[in-house]
Amino acid sequence: MSQAKPEHHVQSGSNDLRRSLSGRHISMLAIGGVIGVGLFYGASVSVQLAGPGVLIGFLACGVIVAIVMRALGEMTVESPTSGSFTEYATRHLGRGVGLVTAGMWWFYWIATVMSELAAIGKLLEYWFPSLPAWIPGLAALILFTISNLLVVRLFGEIEFWFAALKILAITVFMAFGLLIILTGLFNHGHVTGLTNLWVNGGFLPHGWFGVLMAMSLVVQAYSGIETLGVEAGESRDPRVTMRRAFRTVTVRIGVLYIGSMLIMLCAFPWSYLIGHSGSPYVLMFSKIGIPIAAGLINLIIVLSGLSSCNTGMYGGSRMLYSLSRSGVIPDAISTLNKNRVPRLATWITAFAISIGILITYLAPNNVYVWITSASAFASLWTWAIILLAEMVSRRRANRSGVRLKYPMPFWPVLPMIGCLLLLVTFVSIVWSPLTRISVFSGLVWLALLWMYWLTRGRRKMFEST
């Protein structure tokens, strides 16, 4: 007589997360989290700043992400946990650094979801011009709060299909672009080849300064991929599924991002985007001449924003759960509902995001740029901490003779290169007047987190041990 399969939990206690995410969920959640409105909607700004040279930014950021994810993969496969990089930071860099990193990452997702909801409201004006931008954002926030309070597997299924739609959209875009480049189809028979990369002012029309200016926006497009590590806490057989996910996700993101940008810049001159505030993807399909193309792409961009919001709500609530379990914030936040989902952590995250709805109501035309730029500093901080934690962890493992299951190759050269590239990116963000606000807001939040740790967090953690 066959026995029922046991429930999969992070640990054996009654207040632990359920391991309900399969391998296909894990990969798609990471892809869905990173491919949001920033790629489809915000790429035109980075292209206008750097011209075809923006490809250098996408390549450099792709290298950063590959190194960061490899470092995170090493630690995750060795010790899978729902706290992911914040717990690794606590373990290898100190409890204060762990708390601050968790707070910065939570802030990143709050700001990201705020900006995505604001963009969704503006995008829906394409069909409903008289609809206030804050109403669709509020409706989406309610929808994803409910979905995140339900069974984790349902959340995984929703995100799986959202991510699949985004990948399909980018693939179709790349296919049409290749037809234009190689055959001249939809372009009056004119085969463009690669010539658009160096005409109209050259490959670097604004010099290297333009590339540095665009780098911060490119970072925002890649941000969120580290959510893959957080999902280890609710994945089945994490040491197997996470290793496979870390190997494939980075490659897929690189191909989709760099490939689609290269094809777009070859298909038509970058100067077409000057004065164009919408998506370059929409612009290309409009030039193809397919009547429903603009509306279809606009719908896909909306779905991309919803997908990113879904992942952001998940990541933010799980980070609060992990902090509560560690003892630095009230224990009640780690309470799970009957579906083993952190109820209070989800509600707190939703409430913080709702502030963005208010900002959208007050300033609908400026909110996207304001909030998006505010998330850049938090993202760079998280990536830097992942690399530093990995270097300390690896050094300790080498000293003790521990044989790692998924070691980073070419250590310590790769993490050092990653840290150098992050430093260059940080300088570019300070340099750019478009994103300088992100440094100010990020430093203010960083200072508040350190003040909390020094005044209350450290005492609470020691009291709980």
Give residue-wise pLDDT tens across range 366-377.
566 667 667 778
- pLDDT value for 370: 65
- pLDDT value for 329: 80
Please, how many CA atoms are within 13 Å of residue 36, restricted to the half-sphere of its CB?
35
At 352, list the tokens.
């913080």
Please, which pLDDT band fits residue 462 given cuts at 50, 70 and 90?
low
List C-alpha distances in Å: 139 to 117, 298, 359: 10, 18, 15
- pLDDT value for 191: 78
Contact 110, 313 (CB under 8 A): no
Tell me: the pLDDT tens digits for 403-444? 888 899 999 999 999 999 999 888 888 887 767 766 787 888
Contact 165, 303 (CB under 8 A): yes
Q: What share of the chain is helix, strand, coil (3-state, %, to 5)?
A: 75, 0, 25
CA distance 442 to 108: 9
Please, which pLDDT band fits residue 275 given cuts at 50, 70 and 90?
low
**pLDDT tops 50 at residue 160:** yes
Please, which pLDDT band fits residue 153 given cuts at 50, 70 and 90?
low
- pLDDT value for 13: 45
List C-alpha distances in Å: 454 to 86, 95, 412, 448: 18, 11, 32, 10
- pLDDT value for 83: 67
**pLDDT tops 80 at residue 136:** yes
Please, which pLDDT band fits residue 237 given cuts at 50, 70 and 90?
low
**pLDDT tops 50 at residue 457:** yes
Count of other CB atoms within 10 angstroms of residue 107: 26
- pLDDT value for 67: 93
**pLDDT tops 70 at residue 76:** yes
Mean of all residue pLDDT scores within the chain: 78
Count of other CB atoms within 10 angstroms of residue 54: 26
What's 331's DSSP letter?
A: G
Higher pLDDT, 170 or 286: 170
Conformation bin of residue 207: beta by default, left when phi > 0, alpha when psi is -120 to 50: left
**Mean pLDDT confidence for 91-112:** 88
**Mean pLDDT confidence for 301-305:** 77
**pLDDT tops 80 at residue 5:** no
Higher pLDDT, 198 or 273: 198
**Mean pLDDT confidence for 237-245:** 69
- pLDDT value for 8: 39
Please, which pLDDT band fits residue 390 given cuts at 50, 70 and 90?
very high
CA distance 78 to 330: 29
- pLDDT value for 375: 76
**Mean pLDDT confidence for 157-185:** 80
- Measured over the CA atoms of residue 125, residue 126, residue 130 and residue 131, the dihedral's sign is negative
Tell me: the pLDDT tens digits for 304-360? 777 777 777 877 887 788 778 877 788 888 888 777 778 888 899 989 888 878 877
- pLDDT value for 309: 79
- pLDDT value for 340: 77
Higher pLDDT, 358 or 3: 358
Residue with tokens 């300790």: 396
**Mean pLDDT confidence for 246-250:** 74
- pLDDT value for 392: 96
- pLDDT value for 316: 82
- pLDDT value for 11: 42
Show the domains of the chain with their CATH numbers. 26-457 (1.20.1740.10)
- pLDDT value for 151: 62
**pLDDT tops 60 at residue 9:** no
Q: Please state, for a pLDDT cut of 70, what percent of the chain lies above it.
A: 77
Higher pLDDT, 255 or 3: 255
Lowest-confidence pick of 165-169, 188-192, 225-229, 286-290: 286-290
pTM beyond 0.85, yes or no: no
**pLDDT tops 70 at residue 19:** no
Higher pLDDT, 30 or 51: 51
Amino acid at 20: S
